[in-house]
Structure 1
Amino acid sequence: MIRFFSVLCLVFIFSFNSTNAQNFSTHPVKKGETITGIAAQYGVTTADIYALNPDAKKELKVNTILIIPISKAKKTEVIAPEVTTIKELVGFKQHKTSRKETIYSITKQYNITEDELKKYNTFLYANTLQKNDELKIPVFKIKEVEVKPATKTYIVKSKEGKWRVAYKFGITVAELEALNPGLGDSLQDGQQVNVPNIGGSEEKVIDEKYSYYKVLPKEGFYRLKVKLGLDQEQLEALNPSLKDSGLIDGMVLKIPYTNKFLGSDEGTATKVSLENRTINTKTKHLAVMLPFRLNRVSFDSIQNTKKSIKSDPYLNASLDFYSGVLIALDSLKKLGVSLKVDVYDTKYQVSEVIKILNENDFKNVDAVIGPLTPETFEKVAVELKGLNVPVVSPIGTNIKLYDNVFQSRPSDDLLKAKIINYVKADSLSKNVVIISDSKNSTVANELKGEFAGARMVYSRKNKQGADVNFVYVEDVRATLKPGRNYVFLETTNEGFASNVTSILASLHSKSDSNPSGTEIILVTSNFNPAFEGDQVSNEHLAKLQLHYATTSKTYKEEDHNSFVVNYTKTYNITPNKRAVKGFDLTMDVVLRLVTSDDLYASVNKAPLTEYIENKFSYKKKLFGGYINDAVYLVKYDYDLSIVEVKQ
């Protein structure tokens, strides 16, 4: 086998003509070596090696002979350079064999090897040498090349950790540790370490405008998309060498700025309180756009006005949201914030939005909150993109993320990832069950991909093959095991949710008096009205401690926070979720504006903020705007309240 690879190498080496010949060496792969490490050893790039060894992309086998393009080695300062010789093909001679000649005598006559002779006379692989055979004799030019040492000494700079040094020299943290046995857990300022001997111009620069992520074992592009929100194309755009090397355990990737810890699964952002920061007293200009549709309201009597409000869902939602905005503006005024606020009625019409934009000057507007609907929001975002005016979406997720767009509502994918990661992080031995109806089979299959050992249960069907939205006790009992069981319930059907939760509650047997009983923790990747319907027992949900991820938590009235007190005093009613969102979002946008240069700069200065029910941690997409990735994990407690799960 080794001989075969040697011949293969020579085929590559000598197939270049004299005008484009390169200098090469060969490298037998040893156990534990990687392409990245080998490239660093010879001072070439992984792309240089893959260009001549395409099969190495699929699998790097021990004893494989790699062709190394020495001529592409980076020209850097070297210490005690080694000199080696290579053969460069410059042409051929013709030779006609006589009766007594052999392959051995011919190779000795022309100072070539048997492999070199057969390479250009392939009939010799299967036939013996005959009299009068016409042979092509390769003519080589012997050249000497310098091969620099594989490593050099690097002086660790202040605050440089292993991952920074590894990224700088294009290797993994594990390879850095292999080059420096006994390196220890951390690096010290001024410490000398061995690194690949690449030139200074080839060293990667740590750009503080970006974050850096260490690839975990067995992580693929799909997993990174779920975790980082970046697909393969986006990661390769930031890390061009990925196209050649693929993902390698321990490699460091450049990613858009984030507050997640390098290589962590969930990441932790530092929460800050903007109210306690120094506030810029310069007047900020805020615009609020909502579909009040006041042109449709009948003002001829109080009764007709109330009727108009109740019958128009957009007016109803706008008034709820705006009531929270007004309480926020009052609170901001008490903090000493100077604001100019313009409020526009978009009337749920793109034509009205165009009119607003044409008739008003938005050049000095610091931020726009709204509109609520996708079409009108996109029109505002597109028109204000040229002015670099940030536009904040209060509720949308299915919106185009232009560079000036801030999506304040976390995506459904983030919610799903949150609950999946929570279940995975449970260190106790656990059993996972997935119960689903046909409409949610796609989600169920995705969960099965995350939990390979999970048992699956589907809704029973009638003779026509349609769901009847129930399962039997034995369908579920057969999937449970002693100890802890996480059961995913994926449905939007209230009847099915009622049926399944009732059965699970009856099978849950763990208690203080029976600690070794069957414990069932109910979870879902999509908490929806089916779980809150009248048919579903809250007692069952509490017994099963239903866990789910949500964009906002529920405030506790007993906390008597100032917003709830002021809102109730002003409107004689407690605030609903839309009103709280109006307050939280307005407070966050304005406080970011008055404590940073602008809303864009606040993303780094205020990693995570939290108010009554909502928290905000914006992340810049590689191609586009900003998405809030701060979500809550909550559960039904035994007292029927919904509480945040501390992680």
Structure 2
Amino acid sequence: MNKFFFVLCLVLVFSFSTVQAQNYSTHKVKEGETIESIAEKYLVKPSDIYALNPDAKKELRINSVLIIPKSKAAEPPKITVIRELDGFKKHRTKKRQTLFSLSQQYNISIEDIKKHNKFLYAEPLRKGDKLRIPIYKEIEVEEEDKLTKEYTVLPKEGKWRIAYKFGITVAELEELNPDMGEVLQEGQILKVPNIGDEEEAQVDETYSYYKVLPKEGFYRLKIKLGLEQEELEALNPILKEGGLKAGMILKVPYSNYADGTTGLGLERINLVDSIIDFNTKHIAIMLPFRLNRVDFDSLPDARKSIEKDPYLDASLDFHSGVLMAVDSLKTLGISLKVDVYDTKNELSRVKDIIKENDFENIDAVIGPLTPGNFEEAASELRKFNTPIISPIGTKLKLYDNVFQSRPSNDLLKTRVVNFVKSDTLLSNIIVISDAKHKEVSDDIKREFNRAKQIQSRKDKEDKDMYFVTRDDIQSELKPGKNIVFLETQDAGFVSSVTSILAASIQKENVLEGKEAIDIVLVTTNSNSAFEGDEVDNTHLSDLQFHFATMSRTYNENDNNAFVKKYADVYNVTPNNRAVKGFDLTMDVVLRLVSAENLYMSVKKAPLTEYVENKFAYKKKLFGGYYNNTVYLVKYDDLTIVEVKQ
């Protein structure tokens, strides 16, 4: 058996050597020889020898054996016919035409058609589609069989970009170019792996890039970047082939670090100071005015129509803010074209609007308001890669062209929990909730395992009474600082609990032997129950009530220019819908004129802020963008103020 195995190995080795001998030879190094002299002898390049003998870079030893590639010098050059793009031809799709028939008609591949008509990756070919058909010219070139090629450094291009582009580490790039220097210069010529243009990885400015550190594995990257191995491999297919290597560059979602800061620590950018593009920008506003339902026979009838239709009322408020923003942008010298469409809150109308108008050349779309209409518009505009911004949606399908401007409820909860966690003093934590919010209470308990839970009382039929006794609460309070979570949507429950808590605050009295009891009230979901007439705002102020909110209330004493001008034009102070219309329009347009497009602005302007709203967009791993910042505010002397951290 052993002899048979030995003979088999010899046969395999001999067979392999015979094949290799066709393309390579060997050379035993003699005293005084150099790689250059050996390369000249065999009519090859030194780099060709180094590619097959990497150890020779460090030291060329006498009597060592080198593998020498077969010289191409004596062979006639190979001629390759390549196709070069020479322009485009317009084509309108006719009935029964398919991608295959078009590829046959124009002698190009189906992939060539899709490449220059990107909407076809997501949508089927339809009659009437306007296509750009690439026209190629054929060029004969001599084929060079080289392991490396020359690369010209582009403006502002650093080592990591070039290394990423050619799938090598920065250290490997430096080995190929020992004299490249620390800082690359525009126009500098470098040696890089000779891969095809289609294999070069393109640097996508909407993503971040991370350099793998020594001894860093997938587990450490998950902790640092918040990405599973499968997610990293999906973004960086090279990982599936060669695994992780120190120094390699990984593509990761922009600002995708698992720090849970929800926008904290980001530098606020004033885009008014960053305007670089004064070309006319074209935006569209899509709102459910439903003007077809308004009775215009008389002013009273029209007023009644508006009051009865919540969609029209909300649309008019939002649109009034948009108009104020357009006026403000014009004073900055920005040229703007604005199209306003009435969606009538109908899916069919949304489709017709997009079909009947040129949305391919629109820079951004704001709206529609309702989730169903918004998703329909986002899906239709996706084929044009037209960015679309939702003013109010929170659970949207984040296509890659979608911007969700309203922060999620989970983000509000995270902001409050992180605020409590940041308290360096050891505080007593109590969670008070009704039956409907038991799950929320349990979630908070998991975050703070020493927290005490108090549930609202139930009657004999096990129905929630939205009621707790004074003793229920005071038995859990301790001297010192107490942080109390109140989780409910019942105004009566808020009123009774805050009344008991406010009465339980106790100042220190040394003479009577009383220790101070300080109470800070918080909630992970601030809702209308905390704003009801039953709730005493004095109690909320005494309890330093903290909560997270997607928009802060402007202070009328700040003499805000927008608020003042709005009151002059409409004879009323703006509500939160009007302010959102103003803030969102200002942000979208200023981002357009301060960056190449809305997508690129995410990196250039990480955090922007206006009257009541701020925007810090993050990109979903495979999808669109969501606003990742909220305000933390508190009641202070009957006024709601932002908590600075």
TM range (shorter): 0.5 to 0.7
Contact 1:279 1:595 in 2 (8 A): yes
Task: State how 1:77-156 maps to structure 2 within 5 Å.
Answer: none
The reply to whether residue 409 of structure 1 matches residue 406 of structure 2 is yes
The one-letter amino acid of 2:576's match is K
- The C-alpha deviation readout for 1:247-305, integer Å capped at 9, x for no partner, is xxxxx997411286979797421111011123411111100000000000000000000
2:641 to 615, 630, 643: 643
The share of aligned pairs that are identical, in percent, is 57
Kindly report which structure 2 residues correspond to 1:300-339, keeping only aligned pairs within 5 A, or say none: 300-339=297-336
On the 8 A contact 2:262/2:411 being kept in 1, the answer is no
Q: 1:494 to 1:411 in 2, by over 3 A?
A: same
- Give CA-to-partner distance per residue, 1:121-156, whole Å, 9 cap, x none: xxxxxxxxxxxxxxxxxxxxxxxxxxxxxxxxxxxx
Structure 1 distance, partners of 2:437, 2:9, is: 64
Deviations 1:526-585 (A, max 9, x none): 000111111111111111111011100010111111101110010000000000000000
Q: Work out the CA distance in 2 between the residues paired with 1:388 and 1:512.
A: 67
- Contact 2:262-2:630 at 8 Å conserved across structures: no
Tell me the SS of whatever aligns to 2:384: coil
Residue from 340, 357, 361 that aligns with 2:358:
361
Counterpart of 1:517 in structure 2 is 516
Residue 235 of structure 1 and its aligned partner are, at CA, apart by 6.1
**Structure 2 counterpart SS, 1:386:** helix
Aligned length: 457
Distance verdict in 2 for CA 1:475–1:280, change over 3 Å: same
Q: CA deviation at 1:478?
A: 2.1
Secondary structure of the equivalent of 1:275?
A: helix
Q: Which residue of 1 aligns with 2:554?
A: 555
Q: Which residue of 1 aligns with 2:564?
A: 565
- For residue 624 of structure 1, what is the amino acid of its counterpart? G
Kept after mapping to 2: 8 A contact 1:520/1:544: yes
Asked whether 1:531 is paired with 2:537, we answer: no
Assess, with a 3 A threshold, how the Cα gap between structure 1 residues 301 and 207 changes in structure 2: closer, same or farther: closer
Aligned residue in 2 for 1:597 = 596
CA distance in 2, matches of 1:474, 1:530: 23
Between the aligned partners of 1:441 and 1:228, the Cα distance in structure 2 is 32
Equivalent residue, structure 2, for 1:258 = 255
TM-score, normalised relative to structure 1: 0.64
Asked if residue 464 in structure 1 is aligned to residue 461 in structure 2, the reply is: yes
After superposition, the C-alpha distances for 1:446-496 in whole angstroms (9 at most, x for unaligned) are: 111111111111011111111111111111122222211111111011111
Q: Which of 485, 502, 505 pairs up with 2:502?
A: 505
Per-residue displacement from partner, 1:97-122 (whole Å, max 9, x unpaired)?
xxxxxxxxxxxxxxxxxxxxxxxxxx
The answer as to whether partners of 2:263 and 2:607 remain within 8 angstroms in 1 is: no
Query: Residue 351 of structure 1 corresponds to which residue in structure 2?
Result: 348
8 Å CA contact 1:214, 1:263 repeated in 2: no
- Which residue number in structure 2 is paired with residue 574 of structure 1? 573
Q: Relative to 1, partners in 2 of residues 1:445 and 1:213: Cα closer, same or farther, differing over 3 Å?
A: farther
Contact kept in structure 2, 1:372 and 1:395, CA below 8 Å: yes
CA distance in 2, matches of 1:241, 1:433: 50
Summarize the Cα distance change of 1:266–1:342 in structure 2 as closer, same or farther, 3 Å threshold. closer
Cα shift at 1:212? 5.4
Pick closer, same or farther for the CA change 1:346–1:18 going to 2, 3 Å. Answer: farther
Cα separation, partners in 2 of 1:544 and 1:234, compared to 1, 3 Å:
farther
1:519 positional shift: 1.0
Are the structure 2 counterparts of residues 642 and 213 from structure 1 closer, same or farther at C-alpha, using a change threshold of 3 Å?
Answer: farther
Gaps of 5+ in 2: 1-7, 11-52, 60-157, 161-167, 171-181, 184-192, 195-200, 241-248
Aligned to 1:289: 286
- Are residues 1:396 and 2:386 paired? no
Contact 1:634 1:642 in 2 (8 A): yes
Any runs of at least 4 consecutive aligned residues in structure 1 with deviations exceeding 3 A, and if so which?
A: 75-80, 204-209, 211-215, 227-243, 252-255, 259-267, 510-516
Matched-pair contact (CA < 8 Å) for 1:259–1:607: no
Establish whether residue 625 from structure 1 lines up as the match of residue 624 from structure 2. Answer: yes
Shift of 1:398: 1.5
Alpha-carbon shift at residue 404 of structure 1 (Å): 0.2
| Paired AA for residue 565 in structure 2 | N
Cα pair 1:259 1:267 within 8 Å, conserved = no
Distance change (3 Å), C-alpha of 1:429 and 1:232: farther
Q: Secondary structure at the match of 1:287?
A: strand
Distance 1:266 1:603, change over 3 A: closer
The normalised TM-score by structure 2 is 0.64
* Residues 5-25 of structure 1 deviation map (CA, whole Å, 9 limit, x = unaligned): xxxxxxxxxxxx999xxxxxx
Distance 1:213 1:469, change over 3 A: farther
